[in-house]
Amino acid sequence: MVIRFWRMTVLMLLLITTACSSYVTEMTPISPGTEVVEQAHPDTETKNELIVWTFYDTTESDRQFMILHPQIKVKTVRLKYEEIANAFIKAYGTRESPDVVFLDSSMTGQLNGLDILSNLRGQGNQVNQIAKKIPVNMLPQYSDVKLNKLIAMPIALPTAFTYYRADLLEENGFPADPDKLTEYLSTPQNWVDMAIKLKTKGIYLFQHYTDPIDVAAMSSSILNRKLEFAWDSQVFQDAIYVAREIRRNGLALRSTIWDPSGEQALRDGQLAMLYGGPWITDSLKSWAPDQAGSWRVSQLPLHLYGYRDGAMIGIAKDSQHKSEAGKYVQNVVSLTKSVDVSGQDSYLGGQDTLNMARSNAQYNKGIYPTPLDAELKALWDKNIQGIIESDQPIANQLALLKEQMEQVTKEERAIIKEAIQLKD
């Protein structure tokens, strides 16, 4: 009886321990799940059609491309300049998204914080060779904000110049030679004096009194690489001084070349100076073909080097035809072509703007577009009017504005700084 009791006890203990041992973590062991395999896009895979979005007429280049690559069908969609960037952002990730998109370098800040454009450095050797032609100082304008990827490629180098009527300046006793004019306009006061004197002859150097500030803006982005407000420099103080003088003395035409009245003034010889990229040459040729040989190109006033907006081209990251898109980009971009073709232009008195653009590029300071540019530019535009109209010291005004702008964008700048540091 006793033995039976003990045997039963031992057996029970064994059963209890065995039962308890199955209790481990009050958790249920589960087998590894099957990975979700992403579905490919069969529709886009099957289509061999390159969709190109552009804001200007690319018919000629498309035609040339299709001659070179008859197997690739190009479908071009024309959008407005001011809409194309937003449209691309909206369409990205959908079936409407293009393979190739023409953009403007002024839109870089809007796009370089997003991960929607392919890195063109990975689009084959040919494209890489073209990319190497971009001056180093210009690369930030075509790169993502971390400067990791080349997200777009300029159609042509958009080096900014001073376009001027050499004949009018010479008639009024000012230097007509580009180098001498550059030297003369290196001081703000000379720039103002020239404008005052020419105004007496009904000739204007400025379309609007903010033109000097626009010229200064060609040489520097709002934020430098350290993401500090950069438009409080001496250059901007000089430019604002000039702007104040223009406003005070009424030295601006008050009409732009994009208006019919401004265009007419150009033809009438009332506008003797323009500031912008090389695309102005073609515009001048169309607006005032009879002024061929009268226009010259020199460095920007105040001894500045800079860029003006210019068309650029990129490939959508979600494009299913990246290889074809790369070929298209290669065909459109003229960086390599410019080396072999003479850039001498009789309209500009035989000046070679292509070579000038290339040689001037090395002196440019870096321009670093950021996603904050639009917001800061809006704030700048809102405040600069008051600064120009004010009699307060420009430096103080800009210091206050710098403080305000940096405060407003404090968090975002911190985020971007963090992103840049990650890259470093």
Partner 1 sequence: MLGSKLRLQARLPLAILLLLFSLLGDFLSLPMLYGMRFHFSTLFLILAFILIGSPAAIIMALITACSNYVWLQMSVWDSVIVFAEILFLALACRIRKGSVFLYDLLFWFLTSAILLISTLYVDLFPSHTQLLLLLAKSSVNGSSNALMAEVLTTYLPFIRRLKIKNMSKKIPLQRILVHLSISGLIIPFVCFMIMTGISQNHVINLRALQLTQSAASSIQEQVSSWSGGNYRALELRDVIQLGELQRIVNNAASGGTQIVISNAAGDVLASSQHTDSTSSAGSQPEGRLYQYNSNLYLTLPEGRHFTELSVWSGGVYWYSISLHASVDYNINITVPASHFLNEVYGVYAIEFGLVIAFILLVLIVVYVLSKLIVQILIKLTQETTGLPDKIAAAFEMSRTESHIVEFDKLNLNFQHMALRLKEMFTEATRMNRVLTEQAKQIRQSEQEFQQLAFTDALTKIPNRLYFHKHLKQLIEERSSAVTVMFMDLNKFKNINDTYGHEIGDRLLQHVAGLLTTAAGTGNVCRLGGDEFVVVLPTADRVPVIQIAEKILELFQLPLHIEGEGLTLQPRTSIGVACYPGDTGNPDELLKLADQAMYLAKQSDSQVVWYSKEQGDV
What's the residue count for the chain? Answer: 424
Nearer to partner 1, 93 or 250 (CB): 93
The stretch among 21-29, 243-251, 261-269, 278-286 that binds partner 1 (CB under 8 A) is 21-29
Asked if residue 318 lies in contact with residue 160, where contact means CB atoms within 8 angstroms, the answer is no
Give the residue, chosen from 8, 11, 14, 395, that forms a contact with partner 1 under the rule CB under 8 A: 14
Q: Of 273, 301, 159, whose CA–CA distance to 216 is shortest?
A: 301
* Number of amino acids touching partner 1 (CB under 8 A): 42
Distances (CA, A) of 255 to 62, 112, 166, 261: 35, 33, 21, 7
| Residue 146 in contact with partner 1, rule: CB under 8 A | yes
CA–chain centroid gap for 269, Å, is 32
d(CA 373, CA 388): 21
d(CA 232, CA 209): 18
Q: Of 361, 370, 358, whose CA–CA distance to 412 is shortest?
A: 370
E strands within 142-234?
153-154, 161-165
Report in angstroms how near the CB of residue 114 gets to partner 1 at its nearest: 4
Nearer to partner 1, 120 or 354 (CB): 120
In angstroms, the first-to-last Cα distance of the chain is: 82
> Which positions ≥6 away from 130 have C-beta within 8 Å?
153, 329, 330, 333, 335, 336
Report in angstroms how near the CB of residue 16 gets to partner 1 at its nearest: 9
Report in angstroms how near the CB of residue 86 gets to partner 1 at its nearest: 11
The stretch among 31-39, 173-181, 200-208, 280-288 that binds partner 1 (CB under 8 A) is 31-39
- β-bridge pairing 49-54 and 153-154: unpaired
| Residue 21 in contact with partner 1, rule: CB under 8 A | yes
Burial class (CB in 10 A: 0-12, 13-18, 19+), 139: middle
Give the residue, chosen from 120, 145, 240, 315, that forms a contact with partner 1 under the rule CB under 8 A: 145
| Residue 87 in contact with partner 1, rule: CB under 8 A | no
| Residue 40 in contact with partner 1, rule: CB under 8 A | no
Q: Phi first, then psi: give them for residue 108, nearest 5 degrees.
A: -55, -45
| Residue 419 in contact with partner 1, rule: CB under 8 A | yes
Nearer to partner 1, 4 or 80 (CB): 4
Give the residue, chosen from 1, 2, 40, 67, that forms a contact with partner 1 under the rule CB under 8 A: 2
Q: Which of residues 92-131 bind partner 1 (CB under 8 A)?
A: 92-93, 113-116
x-or-dash pattern for partner 1, window 172-211, by CB under 8 A? ----------------------------------------
Residues that bind partner 1 (CB under 8 A): 2-3, 6-7, 14, 17-18, 20-21, 23-33, 36, 38, 89, 92-93, 113-116, 144-146, 371-372, 411-412, 414-416, 418-419, 422
